[in-house]
Structure formats: structure tokens, C-alpha cells
Structure 1
Amino acid sequence: MMKLKKNIVAFIFAISLTSVASGQYKEPEKKDKVEVFRPEVAFDSLQAKKMLAKGTATIKGIAFTKPKNNLGFKSGQRIYANKIKVILFPVTPYFEAWYQLRKDKESLRKRRYVYLSDQAYRYRLEAVTNSDGEFTFPEMKPGKYFLQGFLGYTHYGTYNQYTGSGYNGYGGRTDYYQQKDYSVDHEDRIEEFVEVKENGEIVKVRLH
């Protein structure tokens, strides 16, 4: 009998978890803070494919970032992109609209995402940097391109941690501190526009 009662209670509890609560006063859901925007310009896959056809120019670059100081500004020695992927997109009218929309929305507030269509993302080239951050896109045609990468690094530092206080016989107080190490992980989005003006040229770019 006791076992039967336990099973009935468990069954009722399970129903209460899966059923929708009702009442005289229902609190409305908050608006989703992540807003998605899409470019209004149509993506032209034929144009993108034509821009990525083989040419005789070369894009050679070096990818790096600099650590941020306490004020949020980049300073100090370069951190070179070691074995990261650099993506190249052809700058079509669709891409220009996407970039401008992203730029405008990011200037307003955070948690706004500007969607790049899956079809547009497929039309890209990829290169991998060496340990010095160097990368190359060979056989490029004249045109305008957008380079992007994500560079992760760890910032190390020390701080003084309060460990306690001591008092002498005259009422004087001494605070004690111990030096501690800390580390903070970062990921910087590095990107740059680059233009190939004629066949056969070598365009150099700094991606940071």
C-alpha cells in the first residue's frame, strides 16, 4: 500500500513538471535579447563564383594582435597568429550590405547578430598561418576582398592577495599580502579589406 502511494505521488509530481501552469495573473516573457538582422540585398552566387576564379595575383599577409591594457586599448608586443584559419570573402554588394549592417548594429548595443547566409559563407577561400602569423592566398583575380580570423591568446599577470593582518603590542597594525598569478583568455576578431588592382601583383596586408 505504501509503495502504491509513493508511485501515485511520483506520477502526480511528474505531471506537474510537464503541464503548463495557469493562473489569474501571468507574467509576460521578456523579449529575446538576441536580435537577428539580415541584409536586404540579394546574394548573387554567380558573381561571387566569378570573383573567386583563378587569377595571377597573390595576397600575402601577416596576422597578429596586441594585448589589451586595463583601459581596453591594444598595446605592447605583437601576438602572432599561430596556426589559425584566415577566411577570404569576395566583397559583393550583398557582402557590403552585410558588413555595413553589422557595423551599424554593433554601434548601437551588444547582442545584435547580423546574419550572413549559408550560401554566401560557402563562397570563400581559407588559408592557415604559420607560427609567425604569415599566410598566402595565391592565384587571385583583381577585385576587393575581406579577410577575417579569430586569434585566441592568454594574458598572464600577478596581483597581491590580502592574507590577513597582525597587531603589535602598541596597537599598530600590519597587513600581509601574497603575490598570486592569474590568467585571462581572450579571442580577438581580426579583419581587413584588401584590393587586388591588377593581375600579377603581390598585395601585402597586415591582418590585426
Structure 2
Amino acid sequence: MMTAEAYSCRVLSKASDKEGSFEFRNLKPGKYYLQAMVRQGRMKEMWNQVGTSTSVGYNVYGQAVTSYSRPIYEEFKLFYETNDLAKTFVEITAAGQVVNVKL
């Protein structure tokens, strides 16, 4: 959690591309704390066995001569979302310095 003083000095930014890149311009030299909420949604298609089907083969006399079972599957979709907090400290040592950070 940030103090009220630190919170009043915050700079907000949003990702500018698919890779999640963002930038802050004109920062004064100093130590900065970066944090990002990373939200990801995923969907996975899966198959669930819901039963079996049994087939019996008969000869011309009506006698059962073969029998086999096979599974019955039903497709379903699994949806899930993750929310992660990524954070780090970055130090700017000179005006105009470019720092690449991987969170």
C-alpha cells in the first residue's frame, strides 16, 4: 500500500501494444516504484466422458458372439481468469535516460 503522499505523486499509464509495453516521459532522476495489474483470460476446450456405449454382435442363430464398449464424450469449455500484481523498483540516474524493465 502507498502512503497518501506517495499516492498523490503517482503517474498512470496504460499498455500501448500487445506485448504490454508502456512508457513514462520526462521523469526526474530518482528511484521509482512500478506496479502493474496483469489480467489474463483464457479458454480451454475439453472433453469429458459422460458414459459408455456397448454394442453386441450376434450370429445368424441369435447368439451373442462379440461385445465391445466405447466411451461417450461431451465437449465443454473451461474459462478462467488470472489477476497478478507485478512490481519492481527502477532508478533513473540522468534526465532523458531510457530504462527497459521487464515485470
What TM-score, normalized to structure 2?
A: 0.72
Match of 2:6 among 117, 120, 123: 120
Secondary structure at 2:6's aligned position in 1?
Answer: helix
Q: Give aligned pairs, total.
A: 93
Q: Are positions 1:130 and 2:26 aligned together? A: no
RMSD (CA atoms)? 2.0
Q: Larger Rg: 1 or 2?
A: 2
Relative to its length, the structure with more helix (as a share) is 1
**Deviation of the 1:119 alpha carbon:** 3.7
Give, as a single letter, the amino acid of the residue that structure 1 aligns with 2:76.
K
Match of 2:83 among 187, 194, 199: 187
**Deviation of the 1:147 alpha carbon:** 0.7
1:23-55 Cα deviation digits (max 9, x unpaired): xxxxxxxxxxxxxxxxxxxxxxxxxxxxxxxxx
Relative to its length, the structure with more strand (as a share) is 2
Q: In the aligned structure 1, how far is the partner of 2:44 from the partner of 2:55?
A: 33
Taking CA–CA contacts closer than 8 Å with sequence separation of 6 or more, which of the two structures ends up with the larger relative contact order?
2
**Deviation of the 1:196 alpha carbon:** 0.7
Match of 2:60 in 1: none
The gaps in structure 1 that reach 5 residues or longer are: 1-114
1:134-162 Cα deviation digits (max 9, x unpaired): 22211111111111111212112121112
The percent identity for this pair of structures is: 24
Give, as a single letter, the amino acid of the residue that structure 2 aligns with 1:178.
E
What TM-score, normalized to structure 1?
A: 0.40
Match of 1:156 in 2: 43
Q: Are positions 1:146 and 2:42 aligned together? A: no
Superposition pairs of residues 166-181 of structure 1, within 5 angstroms: 166-169=53-56, 170-181=66-77
Secondary structure at 1:125's aligned position in 2?
Answer: coil
Q: In the aligned structure 1, how far is the partner of 2:26 from the partner of 2:2?
A: 25
Match of 1:75 in 2: none
Say which is worse superposed, 164-173 or 189-198, in terms of deviation: 164-173
**Deviation of the 1:171 alpha carbon:** 4.9
